[in-house]
Structure 1
């Protein structure tokens, strides 16, 4: 090995600039990878990807999404649930709905929208029934108009009768009575008014029947034809009754069809105006037609408004349907009876009397319809705008027709009859257009989107039941009277960078809406994102602090020229290490943040050792030959200690080990290929040979005197020192068994972080932000047997773990929210699951194939050890499940991390110790040399546990690595001193002299490197991360102990075992000169 370093030194001395240039290029390429480094806080940092808990959690998140960003809104409930605030919440969801990383939304606004969406879907199904009914009415009006135009001038009483029949057949209330909705109770009074109107119409029919006895008897054939028409018109009642039975709740977009209806009525109004203009010679008729036209015009305007504002049509009341059936049936029976009573030559007095009684019965039937509307007012509901407008339309027609009847004193002229005929035909055509418009609306309805309610009354009718109580479906999102929640559930297994981007989008979307109430954006994704940001800033501060502190220490204890050069070399090496991490895709974690202060403190040791020896020898070749092997062995021992971290089952500790290993290697390479060429080039370009050592370099310093005195005392008290050291280490090992393990991730973070305070606040409001999940897999999870098992299991969990469970939900809870029936049969249950529950809510509990489902448990915030017991008990409970089950969730991953720390800590230390000892044994080919190098560090590791116990500290993911770290770094110090001692002994010096020279010559460099290492670790105490503060304290203590052990325990051990590590012939051997070039 010495020959290798000798050749390397010769090459550097020959071509220092070339080697320096090549090294700079290589380092520059490595540094370029620094931009690729990412901060990781996800599940993959806690457990390995082949761990069963990770696999289950990964599969669950693929199906049901990951963690949720929670937006908590605060204020009075009237402010929280007012339309403006709900619209803003809905706008936030609309802004974010195209983000591919979002799984689903859950908020009061999204639930309201889901309800209106369902209502709109049901309405679209019923439009054909309404359209068919309107078409039929249009056809009948056209037939009547055509017939009036082709007939001879009838008797006035016949025209009156015809108008009465028309009123029965084309009354718009026949289809408007089909319009009802669960949210329009405010129109019940209007239904009562309409019922009174229909009752009066029934009375008028009775009066007409009574009048028949005093009128002239029309031609029997004509009467029979009219009755036939009346019979045909009665069939409309049957069709409308059928539509009444099928029409369901609500409509959100009737606009297009009702617009056509408005246009049709406007054209009717125009036609009536034209008719009125032609009848100016008949003032009464002109006045009536003009008023008729104006009323229909107003109805047209009402329909136009309804076209813009109508939200829903609802299913008609059964009483109304029955009344329509009764009227149609009885009307048909009475018409047939009247037709049968007609003779070919005329109507007898008895027949006329019978017809009169028939009209009386029809009047009674209309009274039945009136009663039906009274029932509807009690039990059903009707759309406010449409019913009011069209009811006015019906009332206007009725009034105008009555007015026309009043003007028929003595008969109607042929021109008047022709005008009326044209008017009815036009009205029929416009009703047909309305029917066609509704058909067009239905065909295009798939292109329409459901919108948010347009006024507070509509919104309240969705939010609250008839008793003013908030509906159960909102219970998960409206927390209490002062808080409600917007949950933005993310897709599972997202990259950290994607989560950061979504968090930024959410923050921007909420900020743009300018909410009038207070809000907090929180949740684990937000906490993790904030943590990554804090890690970056914290790391920069720590590195800068470490560099400044190193500079101060070097100037105080390292008395050579260009003493800051070693600091510059190690700084470049640290940046190159960061770049290599990026190239190798090694992520930065909360643990690996400590790497850079460690590397600055540890890596500078190599540069200090090389620079210190170079100042002695003034030759790169001699320096590398004499010290290269020692530093190389120290680096190898350190790397082996760090390699033992790879044995940890916790990925972030493995990454920590990788980064330390890479960093130590890069620091060693930099110390040789950057530092040595620069020092050689400095001497090469100097105009004359110069001594770059500081003045009085060889003059003993205070530190030299202290180290010399320490060496003399240690050699005299060597056995006592060794016994005391072993005793302290034994005590420490025993005390170490009592040191606890801190695994609450939140205690590791900066405690003044806003995101941490926010999640604590939300946890206090909602009860829990921690979720554990029972993940179930089966071919048919919603079989009756599986459903019953879920119910029994949930009940058992609530009973046995009531102190740990805040809330527990599964598909049953959703079914209960969407059904008022308590004891559903299985078919009804599945219908609700498949048809009634919105997909956005359903997919949170069961997938579309129904072969994977979850039971969500919100649990109290527990220490991980308590969680471990909880998980074990849960697994025990689920072992006899009829399907495949597993406990998943981030909390379960924390449990797995605890297991890894508990089982891996001792294993890492033993593996590191074994690797270092075996390699040193192979290299030294001496058991005692390997033992001398390792034993002092082992004693320090033993003492470390006792110190932690005395200070009341707990092991964390990073302090669990202390054993391996101290082993690697402490062995480097012992090897350097041991190698220098063996070098002096090989020169033939006695052990007293050899020990004195060793401590004097290497002591300053070792103290300097030890103090810089301590300084690097002490920077961790300035970190806001509690996990790094505790780690910094323990490493400062341990490295300080290792430094003390190097000058106290190691010299004592070397003194006692000298005869075993230095052969007799070597003691007398004269040191041979180094080979010359």
Structure 2
């Protein structure tokens, strides 16, 4: 296929109509600026799990059994600490705090749940108001309070769950307790529907509640919603990346005007990408923070290659137009191959089950195309225009020498791979194969994970961040995380599995089915005798029957097997309970219900999930397990599945694209295979490093392998394509030498810029994003090293297989000579050779 006419047309436009190109690109930039104001943000782990069946079940539960739209709710946690939080003084502190919070209308409190309330109503069952409960505690003696504590521990299943692990029943003491406050949100404000979905409404509720705390005999903390670190991270990471990139641009270009050209192109790339995000209506989530550093790094790489190649021609005495035509003739093809393979790597993420990962793939693919256009067309046009102006006006010029030469220390260092390829390419490749295979075996044990901790920062922010300007300075400590750590350390956190059951609950066997499903439950499920510890419409009926003799008689009349569970006339039973009583466990149409099971909080999520699905098979109707354990375990499974799918798609897609590209461009599809080998080495080394650094695949870094291929292939493409060009006119080793030294210099500048530019993500407050940045930097470093050290030997072997007899393979020659020598010694004397 003839493609040179297209490149020639592009060259003509860039060189002869450079000012028109500049104007067009600036107008397009202005158009994308319009999309910047439409960008919305999204944070928390809910965005990753909202498409899971188990999370959809949570949504259905909230819709069927939650409050109406106008009564959406959010919650706040109260944490109390004292020598003994069950002593009178601490109980009074909590009740007075509760009273003040409830009396503040702006907090829109609909319900509270504290240990102090439970003890107050145990002391006086008639204490139904706030004042009555406070008086019950104030008038009680220490002995009466201790007895009430022991009674509540015996009769109230949720009482001990609100107390710290050191609760002592005999002494009626504990060092900490936790309670909750439920707030009514206004219409349209949204609710805390599932893990990570907590709303900030009412606004500033934590600060308001902290001012209402009574702490005469104890300390009470208010824990609200998880911190949103997306904005803070962006304001810290991007400026840091730009400072580092500016530094390396100065080193690579050594010319102020070229540095300014590079910076302008970077800014345009970001404007186009962010404008696309706004115009496409894609929410800016935590994973998209990684896109700007990636595009900046690739753009810098393109810029350095373009400018460096242009300078290589200029130092030989060629003119501006001729030098730029020769430059764009070569680098535009390489840029196109890089863009194609990188876009395939990024777009492979659209198969991910996580919406933010799919958005990341789309935005990154669009961004890489924008980068190609800006650095492949706009930058050369601007460079031509500026250099022509330099000939007319006294614009200062510093260094115009290319980065790296054969005589420079850098050039000699870069040539190590060529030296190895001359002396023992086969031995070296066999050694590399053994090392890669060993690393691959080691990498098979890399873990996967999905946890709320992936999205929360450390409790204390690094001290150096406190020197930032106040407008972007993060708090010295995130109270939410600190209190969350406190809860993990001091409370036994029982888990909860919900079973969302869809079926006609008016059937005579409906309640019996729920009861039978809980008999002999799995090991991780908490039990009461041999029955699972549950909350359901069945427990609601049992509780009402204990308190209401008339209702108990109704149940007995409709209980044919005398086990306390009605098995006929169920609509009448529900009517007697009333909709207000049943609404938490039975939907209005009586066609779905939910059952809450208490599970061991220390059990592994995968074990709880397996057992929950096993228990769901006891229901004849559709039963979907859900809850935090189930949701996160399913997410973990999907993380690994997503990693494998995206990697396979990337490798297959990139390999096919490279084979086709080199078939068209060079008439040698096998060069595409050569191009892929360093990437395989890079991917294996990266996964092995993840295991060594104890970094697990999660929803954020699950894209890393596809990205490593997409970005890493950039380095091998530049080497292989430059070699192919040089190989047309020179012998094998001279072509390799010129390739590795010339292109290697640009690759070195690009690698340093990328490693440190993307590496600033380690400054991110989100720990998963920091690990992502570290892995990105490692992938680039491995791709750089494999392209300059491993790839030359692969090229030599490729050339020999293609029939180039100048390609020296000492090991093959020695083995061949040895075999021929043995064959000669076995021939009969006097026979012909």
* Shared fold, TM over 0.5: yes
TM-score (norm 2): 0.75
User: Which position in structure 2 is the counterpart of 1:694?
Assistant: 399
- The reply to whether residue 729 of structure 1 matches residue 440 of structure 2 is no
Match for residue 617 of structure 2 among 853, 857, 879:
879
User: Which position in structure 1 is the counterpart of 2:510?
Assistant: 786
What does 1:660-671 align with in structure 2 at a 5 Å threshold? 660-671=364-375
- Measure, in 2, the Cα distance between the counterparts of 1:936 and 1:691: 41
Match for residue 302 of structure 2 among 595, 606, 627:
606
User: Which position in structure 2 is the counterpart of 1:177?
Assistant: none
Q: 1:599 to 1:806 in 2, by over 3 A?
A: farther
SS in 1 for 2:283: coil
User: Which position in structure 2 is the counterpart of 1:633?
Assistant: 337
User: Which position in structure 2 is the counterpart of 1:587?
Assistant: 283
User: Which position in structure 2 is the counterpart of 1:965?
Assistant: 707
- The reply to whether residue 921 of structure 1 matches residue 659 of structure 2 is yes
Moved more, 808-817 or 889-898: 808-817
Summarize deviations over 1:481-535 as a string: whole Å, max 9, x none.
7645234278668699994431635325524645457443436xx12xx1x2x12
Q: 1:35 to 1:453 in 2, by over 3 A?
A: same
- Measure, in 2, the Cα distance between the counterparts of 1:602 and 1:658: 16
- The reply to whether residue 1010 of structure 1 matches residue 751 of structure 2 is yes
- Measure, in 2, the Cα distance between the counterparts of 1:794 and 1:487: 31
User: Which position in structure 2 is the counterpart of 1:744?
Assistant: 451
- Measure, in 2, the Cα distance between the counterparts of 1:1022 and 1:484: 33
What does 1:225-236 align with in structure 2 at a 5 Å threshold? none
User: Which position in structure 2 is the counterpart of 1:324?
Assistant: none
- Measure, in 1, the Cα distance between the counterparts of 2:194 and 2:30: 28
Summarize deviations over 1:858-887 as a string: whole Å, max 9, x none.
544457xx3123222222222131443110
- Measure, in 2, the Cα distance between the counterparts of 1:1043 and 1:571: 26
The 8 Å contact of residues 711 and 995 in structure 1, kept in 2 or not, is answered as yes
Q: 1:945 to 1:84 in 2, by over 3 A?
A: closer
- Measure, in 1, the Cα distance between the counterparts of 2:712 and 2:372: 16
What does 1:795-944 align with in structure 2 at a 5 Å threshold? 796-797=520-521, 801-802=525-526, 808-814=534-540, 820-821=546-547, 824-827=552-555, 839=580, 842-861=582-601, 866-925=604-663, 926-944=668-686
TM-score (norm 1): 0.59
Give the number of the structure whose residues are more often helix, by fraction: 1
SS in 1 for 2:457: coil
The 8 Å contact of residues 80 and 86 in structure 1, kept in 2 or not, is answered as no
SS in 1 for 2:520: helix
User: Which position in structure 1 is the counterpart of 2:22?
Assistant: 20
The 8 Å contact of residues 273 and 363 in structure 2, kept in 1 or not, is answered as yes
Q: 1:934 to 1:643 in 2, by over 3 A?
A: same
- Measure, in 1, the Cα distance between the counterparts of 2:359 and 2:744: 34
SS in 2 for 1:504: coil
User: Which position in structure 2 is the counterpart of 1:178?
Assistant: none
What does 1:268-279 align with in structure 2 at a 5 Å threshold? none
Q: Which has the larger radius of gyration?
A: 1
SS in 2 for 1:797: coil
- The reply to whether residue 536 of structure 1 matches residue 231 of structure 2 is yes
What does 1:314-463 align with in structure 2 at a 5 Å threshold? 457=135
Q: 1:951 to 1:764 in 2, by over 3 A?
A: closer
SS in 1 for 2:698: coil
How many pairs does the alignment contain?
A: 714
Summarize deviations over 1:31-73 as a string: whole Å, max 9, x none.
4433433443456633463x43343232122223499523215
Match for residue 1001 of structure 1 among 742, 763, 766:
742
- The reply to whether residue 507 of structure 1 matches residue 200 of structure 2 is no
The Cα shift of 1:1029 comes to 3.3
The Cα shift of 1:1047 comes to 1.2
The runs of 5 or more residues in structure 2 that have no matched partner are 67-71, 164-172, 314-319, 460-477, 557-565, 806-833
The 8 Å contact of residues 92 and 134 in structure 2, kept in 1 or not, is answered as no
Q: 1:17 to 1:77 in 2, by over 3 A?
A: farther
SS in 1 for 2:62: helix
- Measure, in 2, the Cα distance between the counterparts of 1:497 and 1:580: 27
- Measure, in 1, the Cα distance between the counterparts of 2:803 and 2:303: 29
Summarize deviations over 1:436-476 as a string: whole Å, max 9, x none.
xxxxxxxxxxxxxxx865895589999x9x99848979875
- Measure, in 1, the Cα distance between the counterparts of 2:131 and 2:303: 73
User: Which position in structure 2 is the counterpart of 1:52?
Assistant: 53
User: Which position in structure 1 is the counterpart of 2:251?
Assistant: 556
SS in 1 for 2:284: coil
The Cα shift of 1:912 comes to 0.7
The 8 Å contact of residues 352 and 646 in structure 2, kept in 1 or not, is answered as yes
The 8 Å contact of residues 579 and 588 in structure 2, kept in 1 or not, is answered as no
- The reply to whether residue 945 of structure 1 matches residue 687 of structure 2 is yes
- Measure, in 2, the Cα distance between the counterparts of 1:903 and 1:720: 36
The 8 Å contact of residues 526 and 600 in structure 2, kept in 1 or not, is answered as no
The 8 Å contact of residues 653 and 958 in structure 1, kept in 2 or not, is answered as yes
User: Which position in structure 2 is the counterpart of 1:955?
Assistant: 697
Q: 1:628 to 1:845 in 2, by over 3 A?
A: same
Summarize deviations over 1:128-167 as a string: whole Å, max 9, x none.
xxxxxxxxxxxxxxxxxxxxxxxxxxxxxxxxxxxxxxxx
Q: 1:802 to 1:497 in 2, by over 3 A?
A: closer
User: Which position in structure 2 is the counterpart of 1:653?
Assistant: 357
- Measure, in 2, the Cα distance between the counterparts of 1:495 and 1:876: 23
User: Which position in structure 2 is the counterpart of 1:760?
Assistant: 485
Q: 1:69 to 1:859 in 2, by over 3 A?
A: farther
The 8 Å contact of residues 295 and 367 in structure 2, kept in 1 or not, is answered as yes
The 8 Å contact of residues 8 and 621 in structure 1, kept in 2 or not, is answered as no
SS in 1 for 2:35: helix
User: Which position in structure 1 is the counterpart of 2:719?
Assistant: 977
Q: 1:643 to 1:696 in 2, by over 3 A?
A: closer
User: Which position in structure 1 is the counterpart of 2:64?
Assistant: 63
Q: 1:77 to 1:558 in 2, by over 3 A?
A: farther
The 8 Å contact of residues 192 and 198 in structure 2, kept in 1 or not, is answered as no
- Measure, in 2, the Cα distance between the counterparts of 1:1008 and 1:110: 65
Q: 1:560 to 1:807 in 2, by over 3 A?
A: farther
